Chain A
Amino acid sequence: MISNFSTLQKNLKKDTSLMPTIKAALLGDTATQFLATALKGTAIERGFNIDLFEADYNQVERQLLDPDSDLYTFDPEYIIVFQSTHKLLSAFNNLPPEQQHTLADERIEFVKTIAAMVKSRLIYFNYPEIDDTVFGNYANKTERSFTYQVRKLNLMLMECSVANTNLFINDIASIQNKMGRDAMFHPAVYIGSEMVLSLDAIPYVTASALDVISALHGKFKKCLILDLDNTLWGGVVGDDGYEKLELGHELGIGKAFTEFQQWVLKLKNRGIIIAVCSKNNEETAKEPFLKHPEMVLKLDDIAVFIANWENKADNIRRIQSILNIGYDSMVFLDDNPFERNIVRENLPEVMVPELPEDPAEYLEYLYSLNLFETAAFSNADAERTRQYQVDAERVATQINFTNEADFLKSLNMKSEVRPFNSFNTPRVSQLSQRSNQFNLRTIRYTVADIEKLSRDPRFQNFSFTLTDKFGDNGLICVVILEKKDKKTLFIDTWLMSCRILKRGMEHFTLNTIVDYAKRDGFENIVGEYIPTAKNSMVQDHYSRLGFVPSNENGRHLFVLDVADYQKKECYITTV
């Protein structure tokens, strides 16, 4: 799945004029030319064009610590910093022995300083270990060993990343764990060239960096769709019966499937939506979930369960229509190459990994793909499966009402409107990164950005939750208003979770905005629609709500006169 270096290099000849451009800077203490080439080539595969600032060799400190440096003049969105373990080792070697135990502390101070200085997002590479074996295994027992210092530093980098919302770690130590040091490092090339990453390793390193960047740009996987027979368990439930399935530690290769299910459960607990798509009778397919004692996954863990004899591409289309998320945020796992190809051909945006033939290899293979990168995590993620199941119930209820208003009234919906605060900031930021469809301007905000906005008097922010008789949807809508002048409010951000479409939430939100505008004496509210590949569902959003189009310099602007506004009907009450 990962292209080799020469393919990445050839990508640079492709036409990138239609791709969004990201300004990034790459700073390293070793030769980074190949890394720069691969970074650009990998970005093109992910649909980005990187405008890259490359500092001269070994300018990390100078560029980062001098506020007037070329780096800050360039003003990148991302600063990528690769300080190598080799150079760290040589710094260690040059310290007097009695100071060698301060190495990790010194380096982390530098990282903390730059994390505080830069306004961009900082992507910092952690340190793959070099065991100099000076202490042997005793290295674990003394702070004076290099191994001790490297491991301590890697742990402190994680702590630093937890504390600094703009610091992201590119975990190349993990890449070395997977590839092995001998594949990651080519000594003869290093001696002649100052390159510390082998040509084979570089594409993995840049893929990992782009995983971080893509996730921050809202490109990540939200849903895992699973086949059942010989994917989730060994054997064919319709033929063998649920009692004979290979699962658990007793029977055949059951352990492979049990461990695979444990991985899926962890993903579900992290907030990945799990769906089933199987060629089976529904009742037969559900039997193991209900009756087999070794099943790790239960029916409750599955948000959407589809088992029938129709083709899988159509079934995935059904799953998509229920979940209302993009095909490009779905991963489909199936042991059968035929089914995989049908899905690939019909739904090319769905990620379909080439699962190995031997189920024993499933997990290590899947680990190598890093499918589920994320840019944020909150407790609400863990609740997601329940929410989607509730959605399915709600759809069933809706069928019984002939009149939409009656249905909406019956839901007994309540919304809590709050400014951004320390409790909702992680979720607000996450929603700004996840929402693609109902998102008028698709501006992505990190936790740090949201914190800054909530302190800025030029902005008024609202977050909205929604509960109904079926359950709590959590925080589902975000509005950021910019006070352009005394009379004009500009809607910088209006985004909503697609799960709560057609519930009158738009009306409730606009009523809230206009109430605020009236109270503070604003006369006009200006909205803007910035088209993306995914947000066409809201291109008429403002027109539908009674805003008057006013296109300026090619921008799609819409104006609402506050004085003329008639409160919109809706069936949501304020908590």
Chain B
Amino acid sequence: MEEEKIMNRVQDIFRDVLDEESLTLKRDTTANDVDGWDSLTHIQLIVAIEKRFKVKFSSKEILSWKNVGELLDSLCSKLNV
């Protein structure tokens, strides 16, 4: 699965969890750029991504991402992309 496809699926998850149909993610998108992406919805996003891709993030990873790109890199490395 190439990165772009993964990005699209992650974007779908964001749209669903944050209930924001038109939300567009870029690698440099941060929580500050997105309405509703707070520490609580962050957990919902992680759990949803873990379920969708059948992966598990470590507690450090969960706390360390500064933007969508870093999240995506963590995810891709787990998926061997």
User: Which residue among A6, A33, A191, A192 has the maximum number of chain B CB atoms within 10 Å of its CB?
Assistant: A192
Count class of interface residues, chain A: 10 to 19
Query: B47 contacts the other chain (Cβ, under 8 Å)?
Result: yes
Q: In the assembled complex, which residues on chain B have CB atoms less than 8 Å from the CB atom of A189?
A: 43, 46-47, 59, 62
**Smallest Cβ distance from B43 to chain A, in angstroms?**
6
- Mark out the residues of chain A between 181 and 227 whose CB falls within 8 Å of any chain B CB in the assembled complex: 186-189, 191-193, 195, 198-200
> In this complex, what residue of B is CB-closest to A193?
B43
Query: A5 contacts the other chain (Cβ, under 8 Å)?
Result: yes
**Smallest Cβ distance from B12 to chain A, in angstroms?**
13
Query: B56 contacts the other chain (Cβ, under 8 Å)?
Result: yes
Tell whether, in the assembled complex, residue A33 and residue B40 are in contact, meaning their CB atoms are under 8 Å apart: yes
**Smallest Cβ distance from B80 to chain A, in angstroms?**
21
Query: A10 contacts the other chain (Cβ, under 8 Å)?
Result: yes
Tell whether, in the assembled complex, residue B16 and residue A6 are in contact, meaning their CB atoms are under 8 Å apart: yes
Complex: how many Å from CA A34 to CA B46? 14
Q: In the assembled complex, which residues on chain B have CB atoms less than 8 Å from the CB atom of A188?
A: 56-59, 61-62
**Interface SS of chain A:** helix
Q: In the assembled complex, which residues on chain A have CB atoms less than 8 Å from the CB atom of B17?
A: 6
**Smallest Cβ distance from A334 to chain B, in angstroms?**
33
Q: In the assembled complex, which residues on chain A have CB atoms less than 8 Å from the CB atom of B59?
A: 187-189, 191-192
Query: B39 contacts the other chain (Cβ, under 8 Å)?
Result: yes
Complex: how many Å from CA A186 to CA B47? 9
Tell whether, in the assembled complex, residue A193 and residue B39 are in contact, meaning their CB atoms are under 8 Å apart: yes
**Interface SS of chain B:** helix
Complex: how many Å from CA A436 to CA B26? 57
Query: B44 contacts the other chain (Cβ, under 8 Å)?
Result: yes
Count class of interface residues, chain B: 10 to 19
> In this complex, what residue of A is CB-closest to B58?
A188
Q: In the assembled complex, which residues on chain A have CB atoms less than 8 Å from the CB atom of B56?
A: 188
Given contacts A188-B58, A189-B62, contact A34 B40 (CB under 8 A): yes
Q: In the assembled complex, which residues on chain A have CB atoms less than 8 Å from the CB atom of B40?
A: 33-34, 193
In-complex Cβ contact of B44 among A10, A191, A192, A199 (8 A): A199
**Smallest Cβ distance from A464 to chain B, in angstroms?**
54
Tell whether, in the assembled complex, residue B44 and residue A6 are in contact, meaning their CB atoms are under 8 Å apart: yes
Q: In the assembled complex, which residues on chain A have CB atoms less than 8 Å from the CB atom of B61?
A: 188
- Mark out the residues of chain B between 1 and 33 whose CB falls within 8 Å of any chain A CB in the assembled complex: 16-17, 19
Complex: how many Å from CA A88 to CA B43? 24
> In this complex, what residue of A is CB-closest to B17?
A6
Complex: how many Å from CA A186 to CA B59? 10
Complex: how many Å from CA A186 to CA B46? 11
Complex: how many Å from CA A392 to CA B74? 69
- Mark out the residues of chain A between 169 and 189 whose CB falls within 8 Å of any chain B CB in the assembled complex: 186-189
Tell whether, in the assembled complex, residue B43 and residue A5 are in contact, meaning their CB atoms are under 8 Å apart: no
Query: B81 contacts the other chain (Cβ, under 8 Å)?
Result: no
Q: In the assembled complex, which residues on chain B have CB atoms less than 8 Å from the CB atom of A193?
A: 39-40, 43
Q: In the assembled complex, which residues on chain A have CB atoms less than 8 Å from the CB atom of B57?
A: 188
Chain A 524-560 interface mask (CB, 8 Å, partner B; 1/0):
0000000000000000000000000000000000000
**Smallest Cβ distance from B16 to chain A, in angstroms?**
7
**Smallest Cβ distance from A186 to chain B, in angstroms?**
7
Q: In the assembled complex, which residues on chain B have CB atoms less than 8 Å from the CB atom of A195?
A: 43
Tell whether, in the assembled complex, residue B47 and residue A199 are in contact, meaning their CB atoms are under 8 Å apart: yes
Tell whether, in the assembled complex, residue B62 and residue A192 are in contact, meaning their CB atoms are under 8 Å apart: yes
Complex: how many Å from CA A192 to CA B46? 12
Given contacts A188-B62, A189-B62, contact A199 B43 (CB under 8 A): yes
Given contacts A10-B19, A34-B40, contact A192 B47 (CB under 8 A): no
- Mark out the residues of chain A between 19 and 74 whose CB falls within 8 Å of any chain B CB in the assembled complex: 33-34
Q: In the assembled complex, which residues on chain A have CB atoms less than 8 Å from the CB atom of B39?
A: 193
Q: In the assembled complex, which residues on chain B have CB atoms less than 8 Å from the CB atom of A186?
A: 47
Tell whether, in the assembled complex, residue B19 and residue A192 are in contact, meaning their CB atoms are under 8 Å apart: no
**Smallest Cβ distance from B2 to chain A, in angstroms?**
27
> In this complex, what residue of B is CB-closest to A187?
B59
**Smallest Cβ distance from A357 to chain B, in angstroms?**
26
- Mark out the residues of chain B between 25 and 74 whose CB falls within 8 Å of any chain A CB in the assembled complex: 39-40, 43-44, 46-48, 56-59, 61-63
> In this complex, what residue of A is CB-closest to B64?
A192
Complex: how many Å from CA A198 to CA B47? 9
**Smallest Cβ distance from B66 to chain A, in angstroms?**
15
Complex: how many Å from CA A517 to CA B46? 67
> In this complex, what residue of A is CB-closest to B19?
A10
Complex: how many Å from CA A195 to CA B19? 22
Q: In the assembled complex, which residues on chain A have CB atoms less than 8 Å from the CB atom of B19?
A: 10
Complex: how many Å from CA A485 to CA B61? 70
Q: In the assembled complex, which residues on chain A have CB atoms less than 8 Å from the CB atom of B48?
A: 6
Chain A 1-23 interface mask (CB, 8 Å, partner B; 1/0):
00001100010000000000000
Complex: how many Å from CA A199 to CA B40? 11
Interface CB pairs A-B, < 8 A, 15: A5-B44, A6-B44, A34-B43, A186-B47, A188-B57, A188-B61, A188-B62, A189-B46, A189-B47, A189-B62, A192-B62, A193-B39, A193-B40, A193-B43, A198-B47
Interface set of B (CB-CB < 8 Å, partner A): 16-17, 19, 39-40, 43-44, 46-48, 56-59, 61-63
Closest 6 CB pairs of A and B: A191-B59, A188-B59, A192-B62, A199-B47, A192-B63, A189-B43
* Given A188-B56, A199-B44, 4 further pairs, Cβ under 8 A: A6-B44, A33-B40, A198-B47, A200-B47
